[in-house]
Amino acid sequence: MIALPRTIRYRQVATLAYLALLPVVAACGGKSSTPPAQAPVEVGVVAIHPATLILTRELPGRTAPFRVAEVRARVNGIVQKRLFAEGSDVKAGQKLFLIDPAAYEAALDGAKAALARAEATLANSGVVAGRHADLIKTNVVSQQDHDNAMAALKTATADVAAARAAEQTARINLGYTTVTAPVSGRIGRSAVTEGAYVQAAQATLLATVQQINPMYVDLTQSADEVLRLRRDMESGKLQGSDKGQARVRLVTDDGREYPLVGTLQFAELTVDPGTGSIALRALFPNPKGELLPGMFVRARLEEGVSPQALLVPQVGVTRDQKGLPVAMVVNAEKKVERRQLVTDRAVGNAWLVTDGIRPGDLVIVEGLQKVRPGTLVNPVPAAAAK
């Protein structure tokens, strides 16, 4: 092996070291000192503007007849006939039952005879009293006989009055043997059949008539909600109805909306200590009889008018770890802000927000999964969430 001079060996080592450093130098020379600027993320937003909104509250309730009249026996006797069809509509005064009138007809005849006898006695007493009044002037009769005649006249007069009252009572009892409808409405099934014995002392129930046009709807509302509404009215956040009576709409148990509008009649003053609620009653027209007593319904009650309501689409509202509603808003610098909201209720596909949103704010409803607070965005109108 031939040994190379020392100078040549040093040159070879320097050359190899230079060649080894070339890739490192090239790599360092091509790397930039500042990262490239990130492009703004495009998101769909909805501008929030105040609007006049009629606020409604959905309350559970049940229908109740406008009038309920229980038809009961007022005399004793055997039911001879039923004069109506069960489940039909009856008019006030329409005949419903016939109770055997024979005993009451006889009682009326006896009362008429007693009245006639009393009237005859009265006539005779009047003649005697008149005669004694003439004879007492000439002392033909004694004062005692005159006094007795006048007393007999008064007694006969009282007997006639008593006999007339007895005759009237017998006539009334005879009238009670024909049972009539006390009110107009729809009658249910008969509680007795022909041949049944009914009694006045126990007021035997014969049938029930219910007037269902109009129809009541009994509702319950939380006392806290009632107090909150009053405070909002006093502060001006809500405005009352111009007509003074709140309008109510009904949704039946099958989800169908009742076509006719009702009105709120009254609210109880006492809070139920067991439920903490207040009873309300609404009145609805029911000309076709679509509403039946005892139906479960949901009533949409107009609470008032909010002149500056802020509605945020539900797709733009999420929940944090505590379950509180939050929304992502684009600020003036086109950066994302996280806002915690205070919601009142759902209105269609939006939330009625009372705090956390200001008029003119841009709420992100599309592309929420691509942004976080502080992200630079390019807001564009979101057509799908309008």
Sheet holding 197-198, edge to edge: 178-180, 95-99, 77-82, 197-198
**200 has pLDDT over 60:** yes
Beta strands in 245-294 (DSSP E): 247-252, 262-267, 277-284
**257 has pLDDT over 80:** yes
Give the per-residue pLDDT at 29: 47
Task: Share the mean pLDDT of the chain.
Answer: 83
Domain ranges for the chain, please list them.
43-51+309-385, 55-65+211-306, 101-176
Question: In a 3-state reduction of DSSP, which class is residue 119?
Answer: helix
**Contact 95/235 with Cβ under 8 angstroms?**
no
Give the per-residue pLDDT at 25: 41
Helices (H) and strands (E) in the chain, counts: 4, 20
In this structure, whether the domain defined by 101-176 belongs to CATH 1.10.287 is answered with yes
Assigned CATH for 55-65+211-306: 2.40.30.170
Query: What band does 244 get if pLDDT is binned at 50, 70 and 90?
Result: low
Q: Which fold has domain 43-51+309-385?
A: 2.40.420
- Report how far apart, in Å, the C-alpha atoms of 266 and of each of 124, 211, 218, 269, 280 are: 64, 20, 10, 9, 6
pLDDT digits (tens, 9 = 90+) for 55-93: 778 888 999 999 999 999 999 999 999 999 999 999 999
pLDDT digits (tens, 9 = 90+) for 286-331: 998 889 899 999 988 777 778 888 899 989 899 988 889 999 999 9
**Contact 301/309 with Cβ under 8 angstroms?**
no
Type of residue found at 160? V
